[in-house]
A = this chain, B = another copy of it.
Amino acid sequence: MRHAIATLSLSGSLPEKLQAIAAAGFDGCELFETDLLSYPGRPDEIRRMAENLGLTIEIFQPFRDFEGVHPEQLERNLVRAEHKFDLMEQLGVELMLVCSNAQPDISGDPALVAEQLHRLAERAAARGLRVGFEALSWGTQINRYAQAWAAVEAADHPSLGLILDSYHTLALDDAISPITQLPGEKIFFLQLSDAPRESTRPPRYSRTLRSFPGLGEYDMTGFVAAVLKAGYAGPLSLEMFNDEFRAAPAGPTAMAARQSLLWLEERLQADVQLPSQAERPLFQPPRAPALNGFASLELAMPPVHRQAVEQLLGSLGLVEQGRHRRAPITRFAGQAFDVYLRETHDNAAVTVHSLGLACTDSQALLMRLEGYGQATRDDDDLGGRLLTTPAALALRIGPDANLDGRFESGQHPAPSDCRLSGVAFALPCGLLESESGVWRHLLGLPAASTGVRHESQGVVRRRCWQSTDGGGEIVLETSTHAGTSVGRALSPSAGLDQPATCVALRLEVDDVVATAQRLSAAGLAVEPVPANYYHDLAAHQALSERDRTLFQAHALRYERRGNRDYAFLQLTVPGNEHLMLEVGEYRTSEA
């Protein structure tokens, strides 16, 4: 299908937006008038710019507060429309979006509204243009698509049609199925955005909420399927009012936006069995293979921290498996994952250099990424392909058949019982949505859980994905507060150009108490836990007194995760005060 995006969804100047939209592979855009008003050049320059970029300007939007007005106001509104028709001719745009009137004191008389829309359509038709009418969910008289359709039907003009918007429909919990009965050729345009369910009711100020399909809680596939079943043949167009997008670089947002529409097409076939048709073939990439947690963790380490890091790995039972024949990399083996220590002089801190995904079919995943237009590159040292995410994380895909051969053969002791079960990254503000697209759209994971964590100096927002087998968790965190763990891990002055950084690693071991003892013996300090914490555990009768005493002795915390007991300790990784290591053990509760 054809894809478009509204310029209001991106940051920057109008030319910057058009360039980002074209670079992401969109076919067209919606031109938001406000973007034009701040552009210093002529409208026909925008037309040529779009043409040169291979973009169609699908629609000019919005034209507000038109219908249901007094006769004198109608005449003024028609004059205003003629000015905008002039502008559309200069822009080479054929369709205008008219949203329902949100002014107070307007009439909802169906005959009056129909007549006024008819007059507008006549004016448009005289110039070879068309008008699409959309119900704003906060429109004064018309706020549901059924009302907008009734007005369009009654106005009865071939140059007047309906525009549908998933946000306005789903924010009102409006019924989807009647859409299938609409005449498809009268649906002139389709605007899409997903959103969380906790929107304000009635919908009003919604500029921070709207996001890519799959990142909110609305039934996007059900909605779009209904529109396509009605016979709509136009583009899928993203119109996402979202303040974070306005602050994020336009390029990654546009790229993630395009991929979210491809994902939506994929889901239309998979979830609602919508058949792909010749006139509107749906995107069919290879299915996402199962993601079973993490296969490797590559740490970049300045030599000064070598000893402390190796002590840490040793305390976790990880034993050296050999040195890279060519690169300054040492390999350690855990249970079903490797740790690579890369000696580097580039960083002052110990950081996560790459994260290896454990997926069941790397070739299928790479073909899927190619279908999604997502570039990857070879890793010369460790093999496999690297995917660089919008926030500049390196994800490794695919084992290398010759991986063992890259390392000097030597001792190969049994791998440790240690498993990598979770990774958390801090993102600069504005990149959470785009970075989420990697996990939701490209890797095809189920919807994330969302939440916040309150720290003493501010709040951290987080999205959290479980790997297919439930054995690995990816957490993306962001915070506008400089004093939070996330704010401190990022450099506020570096802004959006800085890469995301790993702030937490979670390891699972078979015996966390033994691990705690080894850490202590190695002189590695575990984060202390206040005694008040254990008194509260006692109040909740959460553990036996024996376990509570044991836990307190080793500074272990306790949680119920799912239906299991989870005991864990935390410590700071040597060489990076912002990187927290959690080591835990699932325990069987005492009967």
A: residues with CB less than 8 A from B are 11-13, 33-34, 36-43, 76, 79-80, 83-84, 87, 198-201, 204-205, 207, 243, 246-247, 429-430, 452, 454-459, 480-484, 491-493, 495-496, 528, 530-533, 535-536, 538-541
Contacts and interface: CB of A to CB of B under 8 A. Distances in A.
Contacts of A531: 40, 42
Contact of A541 (B80, B198, B452, B533): B80
A482 B455 contact: no
Given A429-B480, A458-B247, A535-B87, A493 B495 contact: no
B539 A481 contact: no
Nearest to A455: B246
30 contacts: A11-B456, A12-B456, A13-B456, A37-B536, A38-B456, A38-B533, A39-B530, A40-B528, A40-B531, A42-B531, A42-B532, A76-B541, A79-B539, A83-B538, A198-B204, A199-B200, A200-B200, A207-B452, A243-B454, A243-B458, A246-B455, A246-B456, A246-B457, A246-B459, A246-B481, A247-B458, A429-B480, A430-B458, A482-B496, A493-B493
A164 B508 CA distance: 46
A85 to B, nearest CB: 10
A13 to B, nearest CB: 6
Nearest to A83: B539
Contacts of A204: 198
A205 B201 contact: no
B495 A495 contact: no
Nearest to A534: B37
Given A36-B532, A37-B533, A39-B530, A11 B246 contact: no
B538 A459 contact: no
Given A430-B481, A458-B11, A205 B198 contact: yes
A493 B494 CA distance: 9
Contacts of A495: 482-483, 492
A402 B530 CA distance: 61
Nearest to A245: B458
A483 B11 contact: yes
Contacts of A42: 531-532
A482 B246 CA distance: 11
A13 B532 CA distance: 14
B459 A243 contact: yes
A495 B481 CA distance: 9
Given A11-B456, A457-B247, A201 B200 contact: yes
A495 B201 CA distance: 35
Contacts of A36: 532
A535 B39 contact: no
A195 B36 CA distance: 36
Contacts of A484: 247
A243 to B, nearest CB: 4
A454 B536 CA distance: 46
A414 B333 CA distance: 85
Contact of A201 (B34, B37, B201, B458): B201
A292 to B, nearest CB: 33
A242 to B, nearest CB: 10
A287 to B, nearest CB: 35
Given A12-B456, A200-B200, 11 more contacts: A11-B456, A11-B458, A11-B483, A12-B457, A37-B536, A80-B540, A198-B204, A199-B200, A200-B201, A247-B482, A493-B493
